[in-house]
Structures are given as structure tokens and as C-alpha cells.
Amino acid sequence: MSTKSKLPGPALRKIMLWLLVLFLLILAAGVAALTAVGRESRESEWERSCQAIEERLKSLDNSLSSLNLYLADLMLTSTDVQDILTQQDSQKRNAAARQLQANLVAHGELIPGYYNFFFYDSQSGVEVFCYDSVSDYNACTRLRGWIREQAQAGAKISSNFLWEPVSAGKEAYLLQCNQLGSAMIACWTPCNLAFSFLSGTVPSEESFYTVLDKDGTLVFPKESEEIFMSGERDKWGSYSREFTMRYGDLTLLVVDRPSGYQEMLMLFTIFFLVTLGIVAGFAVYTLTYFQRYIQQPFQRLQDHVNDFASTRKEAKRKGFAELNMAMAAFDSLVDQLNELKIEQYEEKIYLAKTQLEFFQLQIKPHFFVNAFSILHGMAQKKEYARIQQFCITLSDYVRYLFRDGLSMVSLEDELKVVRDYLDIQNIRYRAQSALGEDIPPELLSVNIPPLLLLTFVENAVKHSVEDLSMLAIFIQAQPVHQEDGDSIRLTVSGNCSGFSQEDLAELNAPEQNLPSSDGLHVGVENVRKRLSLMYGVEFQLHFSNRGESSVVEIVIPNRPDLHS
């Protein structure tokens, strides 16, 4: 009496496994979508904040521009300034100074912001100053003393119409000075008041801003110096932008750091996706391994047992026991011979496929070391436009390279990947190598082994890398009609240095077996072995020189039964 197993069958286990993988994929998509939405929202908020900062900086620039014009006009046309400089009578000079102070106070109330003025004549010793009601009086007095010392020493504090950030004790100011002879007029505003609008425009509590002078030294605020020096602006997930002013000789750096929650969310997303990839890969591998090496062999064994039992049952009904035994032994011998033939045949096919895939894969990594070197070099030079063009071309090349190594490709597809390869080399060396083609339209659909032409084009580029702009490659295809069947002749020629006599002797040897340990002729050896596996002896591969050009001729059968 047989009992049924309560364990799920192979089909049910397969369904359960795929449902688990599907659930994990849906969960990963949800987490990725949530992260993308949060990042997009943060980027939008950052852009809005940057636009608001730009508008407020324009308003501040307009105020500085108006003050530049006012100070210049005051020094050149004001009668009060002229009286201070020219009057010998001290009472008249003092009266002019009081009138100048009233003028400065009145004008300071018209300009939006908080501005302080100081006029000083080193010849007469006359000083006129007025402070706004918000700035620290003692700090302004210290800055006024510093300006006076600079004027007495004959130093030029500022020039043109650029306001410079300066520090006076713990305070930082935007300062503008105009000088005319022995007279000088200065105007300044505290940085904490000039940039007070940033407290309402920065995107989050984790954001900070710094005012840098023309040398990139932090001027304000001093409490941000530790954060600035710690490299927070370059932290992964941080946004930073530098703003410049037309009338300010400074750089405003605004940095939005990710919050602890955002950092944990990004790290969790990356960890989850990596874990999901590992689990999914292991699940697929386990399922494939179980089906191929456990389920299928047991199924074949069960089928053989059932066939054997059925055969013996039918044979016993028709003859003597001795005849039944002889028939069973004979059938068993026939089955064993058939299985042996099938196993040997499958082993040969598997060996041929393995060798073919090995040669195919041996070619594929040949290009990638140089590709990553190209990207690294362009990234160091910040050539982002060339990086984008290079990546688009490289993706087409890689997509072609990673297709099934056992499938044939059309001649048209092979020519396209040759063009992509030359485009990549032209981007790398800033060259303009030329490619000529003479292909009848009816031959573009002919199937050929993949990477057949590309291998020899790579060799031509490798031998012309010192002057790639002078390289010209010509590819030609011709039909060949023979008694034993049609063929196609493919010719690749280039104006690079031709083959040496030693290379020609090795490449055209009847039994080609070039050593690959030193990296020489690896591509040629792989092409020859792949052609031998696909076509046996029904192909030709010949190398020659034509003038100063190297020529490679390939003749392969053009029959559909060989290309399937």
C-alpha cells in the first residue's frame, strides 16, 4: 500500500519560489519609488530656495550699485566735500562736515538695508560718520579706526565698484571705499544683516551658508568654519551651489545637507536592493540547479524504469521464460548502446559549445580596460559632454558584445558595431579616423560569426594609435561562386603599418597555434578557432600586405544550413 507524500511537488515549489521573487521585486520597486519621490521633492525644494536666494542677491546688488553711484557722485560733485578740502576756516569746514553728515543720514534712510558711512580727510583731520540703528556701535567704531589707519598709511582699501568682505574682530562687513586726494569716504554693512534673508530661504535646518572672499577664505559666519572645513559640501547626498554678485567681490556658498532620516533611508534602500539582488540571484541559481541536476535526471530514470517494466510485461505474454530472458538481455544491451552513443554525441556537442563560448568570452573583456580608462581620463578633465556621447556609443557596443555568443549576426549589424568602435576611439584620441565600405546591398543580410570584422579593425587601431587621425580602414564584401557552393569574401584593409615578414609567416602558417600567454595575436587566434569550430575546413583566412597597407581576407560559406 503506497502513501502519498505531503511535501509540495517540483512544480508547486517552482511556483512558490517565483511568487516569492515577484513579491520581493514589487517591494523593491515600492521602496525605490518612495526614495525617488522623496529625492525629487527635495530637489524641487532646493531649486526653489536657490531661485529665492538669487532674487534676494539681485536686490542686494541693486542697493550696492546705488551706493556706488552715490559715493562717487558725492566725492566728485558735493560742495560739502569741496568745502572740507578747500576751506581754510575751521568753522566753515565744520559746518560743511555737519551738512555732509546730514546728507549721509538722509540718503542712508532711502536705501533698503543697514549701511554705515565714514568720511575722513587725512590733511585736515576732519571726520564725518553716521551709523545705522541696528549695527553694533563698538564694532563699527573699531572698523572706522582700522579704515583711518589704512588711509593714514596710504593703503588702497578697495577699488573699482566691488564691495569686499572684511573682518573686524568677530564681525564681518561688506566694505566700499572711494578716495580722492587726501579725502576718503567709506560705506559698510554687516554681513549678518546683509545676508539675513538666508535664514528664511535655506531649504532645511541642516542647511548652512558661508561668505568667501576672492581667495576662497571663509569670512562669515565664523561658526560655520568647522562645518565648512569638514567637507560637508562634498558629502554624499548633499546639494551645494555657489552664488556670485556683480558688485560684491565674494562668493556665497549655500549647502543643504541630508537629514539623518534621509541618510538612513538612502542607505536602507541601497542595502535592500543589494540584498534583493543577492536573494533573487541565489533563488534563480538554486531553481536552475535543482531542475537540471536533480529533477531531470530522476525523471529520466523514472521513464527508463517504466519503459523497461512495460517491455518485459508485454514480452512475457508471448513466449517461453528463456526467450523472455534473452529478449530482456538483448533489449538492455541495445538501450545501453543507444544511451552510450547519445551521451558521446551530447558530450562532443557540449565540448564544442563550451570551447566556442570560451573563445567568445575571451574576446569580450579585451576592450573594457581601455573603456574605463577613457571614462576616467575624461572625468578628470570634466569633459561631461564627451562623457555622455561616449557612454551612448559604448552602450550600443556593449549591448552587441553581450548578446548570445552562439548566435550569428548579420553583416549589417557587424558593420554598425565597427562604426561604434571607431567612434569610441575617435572620442578617446580626439581623432577623425575614416571608414570606407564597399558592400553590395544584397550581402548586408548575410549572417557571419560575431566580432569577425571587429577583431581586425581593433588590430588596425592598435597599430595606429600614435596617429589615429591618419587611419583609414576599408571593408569590402564580395560574393564568390564555386562549384561546391556559394561563399562570401570579406576584406579588411588599413593604411596602418603593414605586417612584418615574420608576422606573415606565423599568421599564414597551415597549423596556426600562436602562444597567447604574452597577449600577442589573441584576437586572430580566437577568430581562427571559432571559424574552425563553425565551418570545419570550409573557410579561408589570409594575411598580406598591399603597399603600406595591411590586408586581411576571410572567405566563409554562404549557406543557410551553416548559419542557423
pLDDT digits (tens, 9 = 90+) for 81-111: 988 888 888 888 889 999 999 999 888 888 8
Of 239 and 543, the structure prediction assigns the larger pLDDT to 543
Q: Which amino acid is at 542?
A: H
Which pLDDT does position 370 carry in this prediction? 72
Domain ranges of the chain: 11-293, 367-563
Q: Which helix (H) or strand (E) holds 279?
A: helix 260-290
In the chain, what percentage of residues exceed pLDDT 90?
14
pLDDT score at 489:
96
pLDDT, greater one: 277 or 223:
277
The stretches of 78-190 forming alpha helices (DSSP H) are 79-86, 90-110, 137-152
pLDDT higher than 80, residue 270: no
Give the count of alpha carbons within 13 A of 448, CB side only.
25
Residue 469 has pLDDT above 60, yes or no: yes
Q: Tell me the pLDDT band of 493, cut-offs 50, 70 and 90.
A: very high
Phi, psi of 452 (to 5 degrees): -70, -50
Q: Would you give the DSSP letter of residue 248?
A: B
Q: What is the pLDDT of residues 339-368, one digit of tens each?
A: 777 877 776 775 666 565 555 555 556 567
Model pLDDT for residues 104-152, shown as the tens digit of each residue: 988 888 888 889 999 999 888 899 999 988 888 888 988 899 888 888 8
Q: Residue 127: its pLDDT value, please?
A: 92
Highest mean pLDDT among 39-48, 440-449, 489-498: 440-449
Would you give the distance in Å from CA 443 to the centre of its chain? 38
Q: What is the grid cell recorded at 122?
A: 587725512
pLDDT above 70: percentage of residues in the chain:
78
Position with higher pLDDT, 474 vs 366: 474
Long-range pairs, 33-42, Cβ under 8 A, ≥24: 35/265, 35/266, 35/269, 38/262, 38/265, 42/203, 42/239, 42/256, 42/262
Average model confidence (pLDDT) for the chain? Answer: 78
User: Quick count: other Cβ atoms within 10 Å of Cβ 278?
Assistant: 10
Which strand ranges, in their side-by-side order, compose the sheet holding 183-190? Answer: 127-130, 116-121, 183-190, 171-180, 164-168
Q: Which three cell numbers stand for residue 477?
A: 564584401
Domain 367-563 top-level CATH class: alpha beta
Which residues lie below 8 Å from residue 250, measured CB to CB, with a gap of 6+?
A: 163, 164, 165, 174, 211, 212, 213, 214, 219, 244
Please give the Cα distance from 386 to 428 (Å, whole number).
9
Task: Report the distance separating Cα 66 and Cα 111, nearest Å.
Answer: 8
For residue 418, what pLDDT is reported? 93
- As separate numbers, helices (DSSP H) first and strands (DSSP E) second, the chain gives 16, 16
What distance in Å separates the CA atoms of residue 378 and residue 428, rounded to the nearest whole number? Answer: 8
Neighbours of 390 (CB within 10 A): 19
If pLDDT is split at 50, 70 and 90, which confidence band does 227 have?
Answer: low
pLDDT digits (tens, 9 = 90+) for 399-416: 877 766 557 899 999 999
Report which of 255, 119, 108 is spatially closest to residue 181, judged by C-alpha positions.
119
pLDDT of residue 119: 94
Side by side, the strands of the sheet bearing 239-244 are: 218-220, 207-212, 251-256, 239-244
Question: Up-side HSE of residue 465: CA atoms within 13 Å toward CB?
Answer: 8
Q: How far is CA 544 from CA 51, 500, 556, in A?
A: 66, 10, 18
Per-residue exposure over 153-173, b if at least 16 CB sit within 10 Å of its own CB, e if not = eeeebbeebbbbbbbbeebbb
**Nearest alpha-carbon partner for 360 in 559, 226, 533, 121:** 533
- Picking from 74-78, 161-165, 213-217, 357-361, which range would have the lowest pLDDT averaged per residue? 357-361
pLDDT in tens, 277-306: 787 777 777 777 777 777 777 777 767 766
Cβ atoms of 552 and 498 within 8 Å: the answer is no
Model confidence at 203, in pLDDT bands (50, 70, 90)? Answer: low
State the amino acid at position 145 in one-letter form. G
